[in-house]
Amino acid sequence: MTAKPSQLGTPDAAPTSLTAEKPHGFLLPIVGGAAVAHLLNDMIQAMLPAIFPMLKSSFALDFGQIGILALVYQITASLLQPWVGIYTDKHPQPWLLPSGMVMTAVGIALLATANSYHMLLVAAAVIGIGSATFHPEASRIARLGSGGKFGTAQSTFQVGGNSGSAIGPLLTAAIIIPHGQGAVAWFLVVAIVAILVLTRLSNWGRHHGAAKAKSLSQGQGVGLDRAGVIRAVAVICILMFAKFVYIASFTNYFTFYLIERFHLSVQHSQMFLFMFLAAVAAGTFAGGPVGDRIGRKAVIWISFLGVAPFALALPYANLFWTAVLAIAIGLVMSSAFAALVVYAQEAVPGRVGMVSGLMFGLMFGIGGIGAAGLGELADKHGIVWVYGVISFLPLLGLATAFLPNARKAHRS
């Protein structure tokens, strides 16, 4: 079917290769482009925790300082994201997509040349600003290209980020660890490619975003009432805390855990981290389409309670079973995030940027606070002890029972 100009945007909009899709269908070039950009963005973000062992040695840092470094990056990202989302809900700004990646590139340059712990903190903060600018607007673009398949679009977008998070440590092990801190500058190539992709998406959003938003808004429901939204937000905060503190224990400290418990090398431990993050990517991709079919709450239940036995067994497993359990944990637990994001968007329709900013902001903020707290606990009790304590976190998924049914509210 050939799309009519009035369905895609203004009649005088310049056509591009990104717009040759059905007017109301799933726009794979748009959603896929957002996912690729997310992959490149999060590949850069994953590089920072992947070089923590190298920075710990080079700058003589303790676990507490490593935790503060992670906190600065993630808090910077989390505090800005909701405000970016709130503003762009009323005033969409597609140009923020390439601009955010330019800021990330500046952070990479600072990280490659930092000669003190304070400069490392500045570099982490700048990278966090770039991430905060990227996520709300990129999530909006993915939703505009969904054709109503919101869970599928969100999981596709998110799996791009998870894939980048998995590839980042591999590139770090291959490029940065052998050659030192200066090799961080090679990630500028990734940032430049991302800027090119985001410029294309920005142009599409500028020409066709308003028309797509209007088309999608015709089928949205009224969402939850005020009391329902408050209850939903409280439960989502509990679930996000359980998920992302536990995930932070892997992304920031899994290599240290493997090195201390099984005496692996840094590069060998990075391979185990890659397996976990690759499993996270696969699980994230499955969560969205399944949520479109069976409902968001069902996916959230499966995600948290399904992962609990694996989490509880992990601290007592040998090296082989640690790898198996880490993959199982990544697959099952990661399916929840896309379901949580789309659930929140259905609960508060018409506020895509705000909801996306809050959800990604919560992810970064809780992850950052969790990383700092886990670092302090590791300094006092050891990283192996920490993994024994956090194995109980997935049991907080029982709070899912108190989530209002946003899907029914949406249909009514």
For residue 138, the domain's CATH number is 1.20.1250.20
User: What confidence score (pLDDT) does residue 147 get?
Assistant: 73
11 in a domain, yes or no? no
> Which candidate, 410, 404, 407, places its Cα nearest to that of 236?
404
Residue 19 has pLDDT above 50, yes or no: no
Over its C-alpha atoms, the chain yields an Rg (Å, rounded) of 21
- pLDDT beyond 60 at 115: yes
Mean pLDDT of 185-214: 82
Q: Whose CA is closest to 192, among 125, 129, 101?
A: 101
pLDDT higher than 60, residue 20: no
130 contacts 136 by C-beta, under 8 angstroms: no
Q: Which residue segment(s) compose the domain that 227 sits in?
A: 26-411
In angstroms, the Cα distances linking 302 to 133, 237, 306, 313, 338 are 32, 18, 5, 18, 13
How far apart are the C-alpha atoms of 119 and 129, rounded to whole Å? Answer: 15
Residue 12 lies in a domain: no
In a domain, 19, yes or no: no
Q: Confidence class of residue 101 from pLDDT cuts 50, 70 and 90?
A: very high
Question: Is residue 21 situated within a structural domain?
Answer: no
Residue 13 lies in a domain: no
pLDDT at 353: 64
Say how many domains are in the chain: 1
Is pLDDT of 21 > 50? Answer: no
pLDDT score for 4: 42
pLDDT higher than threshold 60 for residue 210: no
What are 257's two structure tokens?
A: 């855990």
Residue 9: inside a domain: no
Q: Is the pLDDT score of 203 beyond 80? A: yes
Give a yes or no: residue 141 inside a domain: yes
In a domain, 190, yes or no: yes
pLDDT at 16: 39
Mean pLDDT over 27-35 rounds to 87
Q: What's the pLDDT tens digit per position in 235-272?
A: 888 898 888 889 888 988 899 999 999 998 888 888 89
